[in-house]
Amino acid sequence: MTLSSTNELDLIVKPASPEQVVATWRRTHVVWGKKLTLEKYLEREQVLSHAAFTGPNLTVYVLVPRSQPDTLDMLAHCDVFKRPCLVYSVPATNAPSEKLDNGSSTESEALPSGTPSNRPTQGDAYSIASVFCPHKYRGRGYASLMMKLVYQHLQSQPNALVSTLYSDVGPKFYARQGWDTYRAFHYEIKVPSSPASTEEIGDRVEWLTSNNVDELVQQDCRQLSDKVQALALGTNPVTSPSPGGRYLLILPNNATMEWHWLRAQFVGPALGYTQPERFGCKITAPTGTLSVPSFILWIHDFVTKELHVLRTHWNHEHDQKLLLTAAVEEARQCGLGKVIVWKVDHPSLFVSEGPRIIPEELPVEWKVKEVERIDSLPAVAWFASEEHQSEGPLTWLCNDRYGWV
């Protein structure tokens, strides 16, 4: 069966039945279940399917013949997670008008910042993962057709604002289906064998565990929402909205973080590691001085033996080195060889001139290097309503590792 011999109308994309969901897990084990037995991989997927981030928010879509909707021989399939986001766009008429010699303007009068048509909108982002086409069906156009149909379906959903994904097949495939794909970089930090000294971490660091991390994540979501609102009102001191620009923030809520940590807590013991208990750390500050303290959140990847930073926020330049030192020490204690930090544009983090990861200013034994990624390339399809339609550049605010699925 190929698209050249079968009319596209004979194929449909539909939510998978429970039996089809399990069949997709069995198929993808060889790709995304490395180092886990099939039984452990199926168990992991079952555990994750009951997390708050998944549950009713996860739909597995399958491409199947219209005449065989329940077949377990699916032509292609993918996972789609619904999650909260904020979008904002700046009307091009907000651009400074160019005055002609007679004093008239080449543009209509600029809209004041923060007018009702200009405010951020909260709605749904649909994050796509685990796009899979069986080897026997590859090269026949099935994956492309599935993504085309999924795009159309998601775009029609109430409150749909964007769809995101992270491409492992380069920038072109998903761009052809409607997802604009962007270059991406990260920093690699080599974990030294010697432990960090007490003086390096000091007594300002408080480790984040299941007992105290939820409140901080909630505070972070609130502060980010407030900063997007300030951006729209033109009162954000760090980032000024660009005329015609579009802005996206995937909210880093508790459900998102829990899903990442559940993966690590399952995989670690399955591969013989101690189950991780520390999900990050924060820098303690006098009560009432800061709404959100400087912090870092991470996930242990026991398959690649890397510690991935999910999200970081800092209030002072010297805080970042302290947070990274804590991350490196956590990786060392857990037997992980690298710390991976995605390179995120600093204004998009709502940080002023502030600390960048400059390899020359970090410990030489870390051997920090910047790497252009060839996988997990961020991609966005913009579904927002007419209120937020624009052809201007997109800024994905805080496009850090927590957004990956």
pLDDT tens digits along 163-213: 999 999 999 999 999 999 999 999 999 999 988 876 677 788 999 999 999
| Pairwise CA distance, residues 310 & 213, whole Å | 13
The pLDDT of 358-386, averaged and rounded, is 88
| Pairwise CA distance, residues 229 & 10, whole Å | 46
Q: Is the pTM of this model over 0.85?
A: yes
Q: How far is CA 274 from CA 180, 195, 269, in A?
A: 40, 18, 6
User: pLDDT at residue 118 above 80?
Assistant: no
| Pairwise CA distance, residues 394 & 348, whole Å | 11
The pLDDT of 243-261, averaged and rounded, is 94
Residues in Cβ contact with 288 at an 8 Å cutoff, skipping those fewer than 6 apart: none
In the structure encoding, which two tokens stand for residue 215, read together?
A: 């409140």
At residue 164, what are phi and psi to the nearest 5 degrees?
-125, 155
Q: Could you tell me the fold of the domain covering 183-257+266-374?
A: Aminopeptidase (3.40.630)
| Pairwise CA distance, residues 241 & 118, whole Å | 11
Estimate to the nearest angstrom the gap between the alpha carbon of 300 and the chain centroid: 16
pLDDT for the residue 230: 87
Q: Percentage of the chain with pLDDT > 90?
A: 69
User: pLDDT at residue 113 above 50?
Assistant: no
